[in-house]
Amino acid sequence: MSEALAFDTEPVTARVIAVHKDTAIVRGPDGLDRAAVVSGRFRFDALASSDYPAVGDWVVLAPERTRDVRDRLVITAVLPRRSAFVRSAADASRRTAGNLVDEQVLAANVDVAFLVAGLDGDFNVRRLERYLAVAWSSGVRPIIVLNKADIALDLDQRLLEVESIAPAVPIVVLSALTGDHVADLSTHLQPGQTAVVLGSSGVGKSTLVNALLGEQRQATAAVRDDDSHGRHTTTHRELFTLPGGASLIDTPGIRALEIAGADEGVRAAFDDVADLALSCRFSDCRHDGEPGCAVRTAIDDGRLSLDRLASHRKLERELARAERKGDARARVAEAKRWKSIHKAVARHMQAKYGDAR
């Protein structure tokens, strides 16, 4: 990391490649990486945690004179995001101080999401459905990456399963470890574009990042023998520049991907179910044994799996629950806000007129 401030007068734009607590590591136009913090003004103006710089953000960087001996670099603005992979609610509780909304931007300005699943003992299509829903609602193009082809169990069966939950999504089967078919990803990631690699721990995200970089930059670790679960080896998100000029963001394995707020995405991820439901006799059909139910007919013919219908319902219920919770939270925040306004007004009146009002 360079100590010198190469750009001491003009503010420049830089890209956030990592965030550690309050410090962002930014890559400037000179290709050098430097540490920066948000300016006091920025902090004052921020309304939500998602306003703060996230990996992949383009930011305005300016030198700031402090009373200390050393000047520092501050981020004065985050440029509007073209897209953002956002995780909401429960486990995004990093910055919930005050009334900041607890929504976490996993990666910003991302064109493509590589949704990685391992073809070993940890394979799970229901998990992929979740990732797809979040990708669709984030405005990020999903690509399903089925990794560990070299040790795949029931490859044909699993491919069919994945195709059935994501009819329009490209699927790439590869081995990050042997390098087999890794090059196929380049057709989905053009120079200048940014991809984020997502998936649960142990699916081989960092191994894939290393394969695409052509060098061992990220640590990897063997999965557990009994269930093929990973060991949460990667602990922070980081952006890497690939030899071809594209960028790739490695992320820690996500334990449970919340879909709160991803209503649009869930709709998109299950558009096959919605299409079928259009042909049900009743427009409010619950596909629960009503006559003329096209969804049940599709299940009977094997065009739709019962598990997929169940999964759709589960995600819809989750969305509804999150919405109720969000409403309650918003009410509490609003009540708090008014309480502090009333207090401030009371203080002001007291100061101005004393008790003799």
Ligand X SMILES: Nc1nc2c(ncn2[C@@H]2O[C@H](COP(=O)(O)OP(=O)(O)OP(=O)(O)O)[C@@H](O)[C@H]2O)c(=O)[nH]1
Site residues (CB under 5 A) for Zn ion? Answer: 280, 285, 287, 293, 295
- By beta-carbon proximity to Zn ion, the closer residue of 165 and 285 is 285
Q: Which of helix, strand or coil describes residue 323?
A: helix
- By beta-carbon proximity to Mg ion, the closer residue of 238 and 318 is 238
**Shortest gap between Cβ of 129 and Zn ion (angstroms)?**
20
277: which 2 tokens?
């439901």
**Shortest gap between Cβ of 180 and Zn ion (angstroms)?**
43
Gap between the Cα atoms of 195 and 55, Å rounded: 12
Q: Scanning residues 215 to 234, which ones bind Mg ion (CB under 5 A)?
A: 233-234
**Shortest gap between Cβ of 46 and ligand X (angstroms)?**
29
329 Cβ partners below 8 Å, 6+ apart? none
- By beta-carbon proximity to ligand X, the closer residue of 8 and 150 is 150
Gap between the Cα atoms of 166 and 261, Å rounded: 21
- The amino acid occupying position 167 is P
Residue 130 binding target from Zn ion, Mg ion, ligand X, none, CB below 5 to 8 Å by type? none
**Closest among 199, 194, 82, 188 to 130, alpha carbons compared:** 199
Gap between the Cα atoms of 10 and 170, Å rounded: 43
**Shortest gap between Cβ of 178 and ligand X (angstroms)?**
6
Residue 293 binding target from Mg ion, ligand X, Zn ion, none, CB below 5 to 8 Å by type? Zn ion
163 near ligand X, judged by CB under 6 A: no
- By beta-carbon proximity to Mg ion, the closer residue of 109 and 206 is 206
- By beta-carbon proximity to Mg ion, the closer residue of 83 and 234 is 234
Q: 348 exposed, middle or buried (CB, 10 Å; 0-12, 13-18, 19+)?
A: exposed
H or E element at residue 240: strand 238-241
147 near Mg ion, judged by CB under 5 A: no
148 near ligand X, judged by CB under 6 A: yes
**Shortest gap between Cβ of 218 and Mg ion (angstroms)?**
6
**Shortest gap between Cβ of 196 and Zn ion (angstroms)?**
36
Measured over the CA atoms of residue 6, residue 9, residue 15 and residue 17, the dihedral's sign is positive
**Shortest gap between Cβ of 236 and ligand X (angstroms)?**
10
Q: Which of helix, strand or coil describes residue 246?
A: coil
Helices 306-353 + 294-301 axis angle, to 10: 140
Determine which residue in the list 147, 194, 206, 210 makes contact with Mg ion, applying CB under 5 A: 206
- Span from 3-11, 70-78, 101-109, 146-154 in contact with ligand X (CB under 6 A): 146-154
Q: What are the distances in angstroms from CA 218 to CA 102, 214, 239?
A: 29, 11, 11
261 near ligand X, judged by CB under 6 A: no
Q: What are the distances in angstroms from CA 23 to CA 34, 46, 335?
A: 10, 16, 33
Q: Scanning residues 201 to 240, which ones bind ligand X (CB under 6 A)?
A: 201-207, 220-223, 230-234
Total Cβ atoms within 10 A of residue 325: 13
Task: Provide the binding-site residues for ligand X, judged by CB under 6 A.
Answer: 147-148, 150-151, 175-177, 199, 201-207, 220-223, 230-234, 252-253
Would you tell me which residues interact with Mg ion (CB under 5 A)?
A: 205-206, 233-234
